[in-house]
Each structure stands twice: as C-alpha cells, then as structure tokens.
Amino acid sequence: MAKDPGRVLIFDTTLRDGEQSPGASLNLEEKLAIAHQLARLGVDIIEAGFPFASQGDFAAVQRIAESVGTNGQGPIICGLARASEADIKACAEAINPAHRKRIHTFIATSDIHLEHKLRKSRAEVLAIVPEMVSYAKSFVDDVEFSCEDAGRSDPDFLFEIIEAAISAGANTINIPDTVGYTTPTEFGELIESINNNVQNIDDAIISVHGHNDLGLAVANFLEAVKKGARQLECTINGIGERAGNAALEELVMGLHVRRSYYNPFFGREPINPTPLTAIRTEELTKTSRLVSNLTGMVVQPNKAIVGANAFAHESGIHQDGVLKNRLTYEIVDAKTVGLTDNRISLGKLSGRSAVRARLEELGYDLSREDLNDAFTRFKDLADRKRDITDRDLEAIVSEQVQQPEGRFQLKLVQVSCGSKLKPTATVVLNDQEGNEQSTAAIGTGPVDAVCRALNALAGEPNELVEFSVKSVTEGIDAMGEVTIRLRKDGKLYSGHSADTDVVVAAAQAFVNALNRLVSRQKLGSLHPQKDDVIEIARRSI
C-alpha cells in the first residue's frame, strides 16, 4: 500500500479500544454482529481485538477473520499485540484465516512510560522495536507499529524509533495521543515534524490514534490530515478508554461536509466530488445504534451526527427557516447519515419470508435459527403493537444478539405496584442445568423490586450504578430500551434489552448484565495498556 492512498483510510478500533470502555465488554456474537456492520459501513481496517488478552478475545478475532475477513474486497482484519513474541504469535494465529490481515504491535516511547511502566532505557526499547517488527513481518506482509504516548515523547527519540520500525518492515506508523494531551496545532506540528525528519517516512502511511480527554480528539485528527496523516484510528460513537476515542462518524462527516476545504491537502481541486473516505455514510446511524445497544452505552442526545437531537429544531426561528429551506439551519441532510423514519407494511399476518427480506434490506444476514428466533419475537410484538417500524426490527435483532448462552435465563417476571401498594416482584430464573428457581422481593419501585429479587436468586453481590430507559419509537405502544450497569470489585458490567413492557426489559437487561459479570470473573483479561512490564519472550517458536 502506497504512503498516500489518495484518501483517508478509516481504521475502526471499536472492537478493541472501544470495548475497553468501563462496562462495555462484548461477547463473541456481539463482536461478530458489529464486525459485519462495520464491513457494510465500509471501514478499511477492523481492529478486531487483542488476541493475547484472553481466550475469548482470541476466539472473537479468529471468528471475525473467518467470517468477515475472507472476502478479498472486505476490510483488513487487524489484531493488537504488544512488542513481545508471545503476543505477536497469538495475534498471527488469530487473524490467519483472513484474506487481508494486519498485525498491529506497539511499545511506549515517552520517558514517563519507559521509566514507570516498562522500566527500560531508550536503548533497550530502540533494540526491541526492529526485532519485534521483523518478527511480525515473518507472519504477515502488513505490519503496523505504534509509538505509545507519542504525544509526550521526545521528538528526536521518536524519529529514531519510527525510522527503525520502517526499516524493519512496518507499513504503517501510528502516532497515538494516548492520554488526550495535545492540542490541534501541537498534534499537526508533530505529524509535520515526522514527515520532515524521518528519512524513510515515504515508505509508510502515517496513522493517528487519540483520546478525547480534553475534547480535542476529532480536531486533532483533522489537523493531522492536513499535515499528511492518511489513516485515522477511531471508534463508533467515540467510545473507548476514559473519555473515549475520536468519533468515526464525526471525522467522516467532517471530511464529507467540508470536502472543498480538505481537497487541496490531497492535491485536488476544491470542487472535486470524489469522497475523501470509503465510508458509506448512510450506514452511520444504524451502526451507531447497534454499537450503543450492544455495549449498553447510551448516545447522548446532543451528540454530533448520531444524537437524537442532531437534526431536531426547537427554536421557532430555526423551525421557520428549516420549513422554508433546510439549508438555513442544517449542513447535513439527515438521509445522508441513514436517518429515516420508514414504516414497514408488516403485521401479525406477515410471513417469515417477508420479515427476512426486510431484515436483509436493513443489512442483517441471519442464520436460519436466528431468523426463527427473530420471527417469533416479531410475531409476539405484532400482537401487542399495531405499527411496526424499522427501529422496532433493529431492536428485536439487537436484543436477540444481546442474549448469549449464560448462567442465568429469565423465565418469568411479574410485579404488583400502585399508589397504595408496596412494589413487589416475583421472578423465575433457570440456570445452565435447567433448574428453576423463584423468589419474590419488595422494593421502592417495580424495577427496584425486580432487581432485588434477581440478586437474591443469582447470589452475585453487586451495585446498580445506572438504570436508563428510552423509547425506541413514538407512541404509547412504543418499545422501551433499557440499559443497566452493575459494578463489582471496581468493574462495570452492562446489560441491554427492549420490550413494550419496560419492567420486563429491565429484568432481562439485569440478567444480561449478571451473565456478563459471571463470565468475566471466570475468564479474566489482560489489559494492553495496564500491564506493568513488557517482557520479550526469549524462546523458540
């Protein structure tokens, strides 16, 4: 791949860095669903995970490589690996089924990380980089190298590291603002200085990765593009460590709407209509909703591009202007990002083939078993709700994916409450062996009573730190989406569900969160940025 591909490559790390958001852990089926949607969205590279971190992450990366990465026209499937032989070998094995694959290896380069995290000298790190890049190159042709905490690294040392990595075979050099410290001008100057001071920089693509701790990630990236960066590492909805990553949808639409401004930085005429990315923008809203549903991380209403209020107008002056000409107060056509209010002519008499056809139009490719489950839920919903919308169907599929094989299965929930009654809930759970347990509890409200009863049966002490509910569509019979987040031992576990009865949705969301809590405690995980010391495995492979 040439240094300048003539456009901006979109490197999506929702499934790796995005999943590191507290409480946003995804199971294998959820990761797979998001990966398929990212492929439909048109991202260039999917960073599918960190294979050495856990067996679950290894399996998820491998499944994505097998099912999403086998199309030669599809995205590159990438795995993350620390600069160690064990990490790189695991990564190579996980991504091996993919037609187009990449190993992304990294090591810290800032003095503060070298001293306090790695406990290594600059000379030691400078020796490790070419050795490990060469080792990664022995498995794949496409190797990306990241200088962790580049934003706070000594520039001269950074230039040395980058030159060594490229000489060893790195095709892409990633410059991360790991702690979200830099400002747009500083970040742009850093990219420019790399272009001017690294002798072999023309042999690699410059990539950028950044966090939003100061709310500047998107601005930093757009400035980096002007200075020659041609790959942007971002996430859907901007999820990720701490304050998150640069938001994919904001970067893509910034380059789309202001194409005439950015075109000259690509050697084009301002009026050139050629898109600056390969993203299918009409898939942005659906992708955002899918990631929000599966991670349990609600998108704030005033979020740019994909927030509920992004195309809403409350002011009378604004409403009057929009009615006369939408361009008066809208710089983006809502249809461009896939925001529609389509209603489908499906009801209780509709057949399985009609439901399947509509789901395929919405971009969902379900197996026979999954389609049967979705159709059963559709029929159940059609008995309770007169008008079925695309958003209802999306909620059904997302809810279905959210229910993995777990320790607990909700069989029944029943509540009694009112102005003169103490809220009481009766719940029935099945365990993995099919044993049925039931209990009742009293709470301050119906949801509190349900959660108390479920906790009593599960026997997994935790703290409920978030309960949110929102309507999927308008109307009194709308489905309600519930997100619940539990905390135990300082870690967050989220669950999501949707139903026309918000109490039932709350119960299922709580069970989903409990199942995550139990599975994560069993598997454990290794965090790529929180492990104390990177040791190079000196053994024959």
Domain borders along the chain are 9-295, 308-340, 352-401, 409-523
Comparison of pLDDT for 415 and 403, the residue scoring more: 415
pLDDT value at residue 405: 58
Round to whole Å and give the CA distance between 175 and 207: 6
Average pLDDT over residues 438-445: 94
Round to whole Å and give the CA distance between 199 and 205: 13
- Tokens 């080792």: give the residue: 135
pLDDT value at residue 470: 79
Round to whole Å and give the CA distance between 330 and 307: 14
What's the distance, CA 315 to chain centroid? 34
Min mean pLDDT across 85-89, 158-162, 394-398 is at 394-398
Read off the tokens for 511: 């069970």
Q: Which residues contact 389 (CB under 8 A, 6 or more apart)?
A: 341, 342, 343, 344, 472, 473
Average pLDDT over residues 46-65: 94
pLDDT value at residue 525: 56
Average pLDDT of the residues of the chain: 86
DSSP code for 16: T
pLDDT in tens, 228-278: 999 999 999 999 989 999 999 999 999 999 999 999 999 999 999 999 999
Name the class of domain 409-523: alpha beta
The SS3 of residue 466 is strand
Long-range contacts of 525-529 (CB under 8 A, 24+ apart): 525/53, 525/54, 525/56, 525/57, 526/50, 526/52, 526/53, 526/54, 527/20, 527/53, 528/50, 528/53, 528/80, 528/82, 528/106, 529/20, 529/148, 529/178, 529/241
Other beta carbons within 10 angstroms of residue 112's beta carbon come to 12
Name the class of domain 9-295: alpha beta
pLDDT in tens, 491-538: 888 888 888 888 998 998 899 888 888 876 665 555 555 454 344 333
pLDDT in tens, 362-405: 667 777 777 888 888 788 877 777 667 777 777 777 666 655 55
Min mean pLDDT across 8-12, 45-49, 264-268, 365-369 is at 365-369
pLDDT value at residue 347: 65
Q: How many residues does the chain have?
A: 541
Round to whole Å and give the CA distance between 346 and 321: 36
Other beta carbons within 10 angstroms of residue 122's beta carbon come to 14
Quote the percentage of the chain above a pLDDT of 70.
86
Quote the percentage of the chain above a pLDDT of 90.
55
